[in-house]
Amino acid sequence: MAFYALIMAGGFGTRLWPLSRRDRPKQSLALVGGRTMFEHAVDRIAPVFQPEQIFVVTGAEHVDSLAAQAPELPRENFIVEPQGRGTAPAIGLGAIHLLRQDPEAVMAVLTADHFIVDADRFCQVLAAAAEVAEDGHLVTLGIAPSFPSTGYGYIKQGESLGGAEGFPVYRAERFTEKPTLETALHMVESGEYSWNSGMFIWRVGRILKEFQRQMPEFYVQLAQVETTLGGAGYQPTLNRVWPEVVKQTIDYGVMEGAEDVAVIPVDIGWSDIGSWTSLSEILPTDREGNTIVGPHVGIDTRETVVFGGKRLIATIGLEGMVIVDTEDALLVCPRDREQEVRAIVRQLDSEDRGEYL
Amino acid sequence: MAFYALIMAGGFGTRLWPLSRRDRPKQSLALVGGRTMFEHAVDRIAPVFQPEQIFVVTGAEHVDSLAAQAPELPRENFIVEPQGRGTAPAIGLGAIHLLRQDPEAVMAVLTADHFIVDADRFCQVLAAAAEVAEDGHLVTLGIAPSFPSTGYGYIKQGESLGGAEGFPVYRAERFTEKPTLETALHMVESGEYSWNSGMFIWRVGRILKEFQRQMPEFYVQLAQVETTLGGAGYQPTLNRVWPEVVKQTIDYGVMEGAEDVAVIPVDIGWSDIGSWTSLSEILPTDREGNTIVGPHVGIDTRETVVFGGKRLIATIGLEGMVIVDTEDALLVCPRDREQEVRAIVRQLDSEDRGEYL
């Protein structure tokens, strides 16, 4: 079996502003262990994929930085989108590149902005998922939920489809969007749900058929690009077609309406480092529940994230706060409002203060 | 009448850390109007005092900086304490220097760390107070309280002693320490109390008699220094005597036990910029009650002091907070806990992190 990885490494990681910036997006931040998120993403799949089997889809503005972080990957394996159009088009573009490598290819769609503690088990489940995908299933990795998150989507496990390499496999009965806390509590207690990790394993031909069926307009656009692959017409065609592609996520555009979707629930210590609080969950905490990076002095400070650098950060009487200090910008907000960092970024953009973006 | 000013400009201003530092104390900070507190203190009394009549008592580590801020003052008018011993010894040392200028001198003890909006009226009341002091009273400037502060001491007005230059003068019946909020409310409502400004006007001979009566040990020490004034023995004597001087405030050491104390209550827009909140009271506020210095972007931020500089400070969902950003240190705390900045400074000191002090 020809098994390929497609690492999605576009985006900005707005919610990690002010650390993440347009020219220093989340996947290029060394948040954990002194290595960037992208370096982690490439390194942890080395037992499963040769460098030539690892493809990356990203934006033109990030490709040089990412290539420098993973010099072992062939430069031509970096697939560049003229503009980000959401996960569905990114996966579609990756799929036609892999189809050209091998019409029978199985592809694993992976992310560069998630953290995975148990890389060994992750590699095992990828191999298992590839077997299930060979049979024609659209496989999604489900994450055994460790708490009733209202920030993730959930997948309901249906009938058993047996197992692969020791992992149980279920039919994915339903995808649900981010739930309320009450719903999340019920779902976690039932034991029938896992988090939607955004990682998928399927045959290239199989996902392209789904695009044809569920996103026919995009499929036609993709076919125009596909005919030019490897030729001089590729880049001009992509540049012409891509701005017309409608933005769409793979969940909404394909998965929710697909058949033969399988879910493999697995516990791999996965977290979506989508926010400062989620970062604090994988970094060490002190006795007061604080996550402190950089020089700090505190009085009566609890459950607070202090992500600094060179400067001393002094805190008094804080609980559940987030403080992020960078060279030219500083953020102070309560943990339960950190989602609004996006609004700060929008406001800076609208006020033409792009120097902070 | 020979009228002199003695500006007390020692100290550090711990509560304004991290802006105030050992080598950049409060009196050298340009907090308001682009001029330092010391520059304000010297400038506003120019209508009353010639430069030769203005003396400054400070520490050796600050004298060069202060002299540079007020080059019009004769260098010999800077009286240097080997160590800070509190306000009583500082005033005593100033008094013997002024006694040598003129045994009949009246001195105004002024501060370099208070802000005064109405400098004209301040100069008028100084002239009035000098008249009252000529009669032998120890005059203290009382500040008409604008709110029930629990951070200031209060002076109770007793019987009327008439008036001077249009200002009513009262016998000071009692000095009280910082009150509880309940007591403060009663005092402000009664109309019989004013804040203790820490500014005094008296004849030099009169205050020295009080030292002799109430602080006899210090008076003897002071007399030893006094005999060496203007000679080669002055500095060695001061250096020998001063470490043995007991620390004491003028309020506790002299004023509370003194007779013939007069108070002149006056409204001069005075504030003790002793904390970030008190600074915010004299700086402009926005519609949400925020005091913002430096680049800022905020969402749902109220009653918050953001004292920054070059860096952008982004705030979300804050109420009643203080954020102070400097080149190498940052403070985040609620306004009602800013007094604990002192504890941060103590902790840094005890942990040998003097680079931040």
Q: Name every residue whose Cβ is closer than 8 Å to that of residue B66 and which is 6 or more positions away in sequence.
A: B9, B27, B28, B38, B56, B58, B78
- pLDDT reading at A339 higher than 90: no
- The CATH 3.90.550.10 portion of chain B extends over 3-272
Q: Is B297 on the interface with A (CB under 8 A)?
A: yes
For the stretch A261-275, pLDDT in tens is 999 999 999 988 878
A333/B323 CB distance under 8 A: no
| 0.85 surpassed by complex ipTM | no
- pLDDT reading at B12 higher than 80: no
pLDDT of residue B271: 85
DSSP A168: E
What is the pLDDT of chain B when averaged over all its residues?
Answer: 94
- pLDDT reading at B147 higher than 90: no
The torsion angles phi and psi of A29, rounded to 5 degrees, stand at -90, 135
Exposure pattern of B9-40 as b/e (b: 16+ CB <10 Å)? bbbbbbbbbbbbbbebbbbbbebbeeebbbbb
Strand-pairing partners, residue A72, are none
The CA-to-CA distance between both ends of chain B, in Å, stands at 43
Token pair for residue A208? Answer: 């392209």
- pLDDT reading at A19 higher than 80: yes
Q: Nearest CA of chain A to the CA of B205: how many Å? A: 47
Q: Which pTM value belongs to this model?
A: 0.81
For the stretch B191-247, pLDDT in tens is 999 999 999 999 999 999 999 999 999 999 999 999 999 999 999 999 999 999 999
B18/A312 CB distance under 8 A: yes
DSSP B350: H
Q: Give which of B20, B306, B316 to mutate to test A binding, by max A Cβ within 10 Å.
A: B316
- pLDDT reading at B176 higher than 80: yes
Q: Name every residue whose Cβ is closer than 8 Å to that of residue B170 and which is 6 or more positions away in sequence.
A: B157, B158, B159, B160, B161, B262, B263, B264, B265
Q: Which residues of A touch B314 (CB under 8 A)?
A: 17-18, 329-333, 341, 344
What is the pLDDT of chain A when averaged over all its residues?
Answer: 94
For the stretch B45-73, pLDDT in tens is 999 999 999 999 999 989 999 999 999 99
Give the pLDDT band (50/70/90) at residue A9.
very high
Region B121-131: mean pLDDT is: 97
Contact of A235 with A225, CB cutoff 8 Å? no
d(CA A91, CA A101): 15
Q: Which of B18, B316, B327 sits opposite A314 (nearest CB)?
A: B18
pLDDT of residue B113: 86
The type of residue at A89 is P
Question: Which residue in B147, B160, B155, B146 sits closest to B118, CA to CA?
Answer: B146
Q: Which residues of A touch B351 (CB under 8 A)?
A: 297
CA atoms within 13 A on the CB side of B273: 31
Helix, strand, coil distribution of chain B in percent, nearest 5: 40, 30, 30
Q: Nearest CA of chain A to the CA of B182: how many Å? A: 25
- pLDDT reading at B307 higher than 80: yes
- pLDDT reading at B162 higher than 90: yes
**Count of pairs with CB atoms under 8 A, one residue in A, one in B:** 117
pLDDT of residue A221: 98
Q: Which residues of A touch B334 (CB under 8 A)?
A: 316-318
Question: Which residue in B231, B232, B209, B199 sits closest to B222, CA to CA?
Answer: B209
pLDDT of residue B171: 97
Give the pLDDT band (50/70/90) at residue A85.
very high
The type of residue at A14 is T
pLDDT of residue A88: 97
CATH number of B3-272: 3.90.550.10
Exposure pattern of A165-187 as b/e (b: 16+ CB <10 Å)? eebebbbbeebbeebeeeebeeb
Region B302-327: mean pLDDT is: 95
Percent of chain B with pLDDT over 90: 85
Q: Is A169 on the interface with B (CB under 8 A)?
A: no
Token pair for residue B30? Answer: 């340009």
Chain B, window 298-337: residues with a beta carbon less than 8 angstroms from a chain A beta carbon: 299-300, 308, 310-318, 321, 323, 325, 327-334, 337
Q: Give which of B14, B20, B333, B348 to mutate to test A binding, by max A Cβ within 10 Å.
A: B333
- A3-271, what's its fold? Spore Coat Polysaccharide Biosynthesis Protein SpsA; Chain A (3.90.550)
Strand-pairing partners, residue B118, are none
The type of residue at B343 is A
Q: Is A357 on the interface with B (CB under 8 A)?
A: no
Q: Which residues of A touch B316 (CB under 8 A)?
A: 331-334, 337-338, 340-341, 343-344
For the stretch A59-77, pLDDT in tens is 998 999 999 999 999 999 9
Token pair for residue A14? Answer: 């707005």
Q: Nearest CA of chain A to the CA of B334: how many Å? A: 7
Pairing type for strands B321-325 and B329-334 reads antiparallel
- The CATH 3.90.550.10 portion of chain A extends over 3-271
Q: Nearest CA of chain B to the CA of A290: how many Å? A: 15
B330/A351 CB distance under 8 A: no
- pLDDT reading at B294 higher than 90: yes
